[in-house]
Amino acid sequence: MRIALLSNPSSGRGRHAAADDVARRILTGAGHEVLHVRGSSYEQARDAGRALLGDGPHRNVEALVVVGGDGMVHLGVDIVATTGVPLGIVATGTGNDIARHFGLPSRDAEASARLINQALSGKGSITAVDAIYASRPDGTLLAPQRRWSLAVVSAGVDAAVNARANTLSWPAREGRYVRAFTAELATLAPYGYRVTTDEGTWEGPALLLAVANTRYVGGGMDLAPQADPADGLLEVLRLDPVGRTHLLALFRRLFRGTHLTDPAVHVERSCTVTIEALAERTGRDRGLRPPPHPFADGEPLAELPLRLEAIPDAVRLLLPAQGRSGP
């Protein structure tokens, strides 16, 4: 079988380079033809992956394997969504939240590659899952590299924390998200939104606003414990304005997934979600900030307004035989 192996060694201080060498060795040893491409940037990796994939019935490869963190999985989803080409994940990143949801190995390239080979050889699972498709509310297309995501779209303090964490060089791994969250507490203030779901439209203040297809964010925070990427629905989570002490308590509960019982937390399930910022004057009159730039799977998305839709069976993942969900 011909497999495209794609990584971005410019992220993670090059540790992905060693991991993709391990993955290539194991997959080649299993009899696969591996076309190995390393992009020096997100854009180069995306373009190389699309070129390797080919077009329509004339596919150049039969599977795409990405090596890296959630950002590389995001890139892989952008490449393979709706094509039918299976996606394998060698998770070597900081958070690895997508791998965590699907019960995949984390920071173990050898185990990941062996699992991918098992799935391709019929001893594992090739499972179709939903993906999130983003556009403008009027249907206008976004740039191609910003249309698809697999895990969570963040548009509140969660997005601000993500942006800040991406600028930090220490502490390592999940500690960056904790440090970023602590820093955001210093400027805590609600944002102004207009959110439309299948149930109707809500307008007002919120601290956190997230649309989840899978469970985890920030290196293990169980943001949406009921999210199921096979039900055709998105989890829409909204947090009312609360004080710093209350928010800190909720932050601790996030890691256990017990925050949904807090009366300040609201959850809806919807096939489509439209997120808009309140008009600047309206928000200012209510003492609300404009929302931060949204993130999807830990990567910058297009600015608001956005329409998000769950597309059933948009991506085929190479998974363990026992099923699609993680812990």
- Terminal alpha carbon distance of the chain: 31
Residue 324: predicted pLDDT:
43
185 φ, ψ (degrees, to nearest 5): -60, -30
Are residue 215 and residue 280 in the same domain, yes or no?
yes
Task: State the chain's mean pLDDT as an integer.
Answer: 90
Residue 185: predicted pLDDT:
82
pLDDT band for position 174 (cuts 50, 70, 90): low
Q: What is the pLDDT of residues 183-213, one digit of tens each?
A: 888 888 999 999 999 999 999 999 999 999 9
pLDDT band for position 80 (cuts 50, 70, 90): very high
134 φ, ψ (degrees, to nearest 5): -110, 140
Residue 11: predicted pLDDT:
53
Are residue 102 and residue 146 in the same domain, yes or no?
no
Residue 172: predicted pLDDT:
65
Give the pair of three-digit tokens for residue 88: 């394998």
241 φ, ψ (degrees, to nearest 5): -60, 125
Residue 14: predicted pLDDT:
55
Dump the DSSP string for 253-312. HHTTT-GGGSTTEEEEEESEEEEEEPPHHHHHHTT-BPPPPPEETTEE-PPSPEEEEEEE
Q: What is the pLDDT of residues 291-313, one digit of tens each?
A: 999 999 989 999 999 999 999 99
Q: Average of pLDDT values for 232-250?
A: 95
Decide which of 91, 123, 155 is a domain's last residue: 123
The lowest-confidence range among 91-95, 116-120, 242-246, 294-298 is 91-95
Residue 69: domain span: 2-123
Decide which of 67, 94, 123 is a domain's last residue: 123
Q: What is the pLDDT of residues 268-278, one digit of tens each?
A: 999 999 999 99
Residue 317 domain-assigned (yes or no): no
Are residue 104 and residue 145 in the same domain, yes or no?
no
| CA 72 – CA 68 distance, rounded (Å) | 5
Choose between 49 and 34: higher pLDDT.
34
Residue 84 domain-assigned (yes or no): yes
Residue 327: predicted pLDDT:
46
Are residue 143 and residue 257 in the same domain, yes or no?
yes
Are residue 104 and residue 138 in the same domain, yes or no?
no
Q: What is the pLDDT of residues 1-25, one digit of tens each?
A: 999 999 875 654 456 678 988 999 9
Residue 263 domain-assigned (yes or no): yes
Are residue 84 and residue 206 in the same domain, yes or no?
no
pTM as predicted: 0.92
Decide which of 92, 123, 154 is a domain's last residue: 123
Q: What is the pLDDT of residues 98-129, one digit of tens each?
A: 999 999 999 999 999 999 999 999 999 999 99
Q: Where residue 35 sits, what CATH number does that domain have?
A: 3.40.50.10330
The answer to whether 75 touches 45, Cβ cutoff 8 Å, is yes
**Residue 46 pLDDT > 60:** yes
Domain count for the chain, please give it: 2
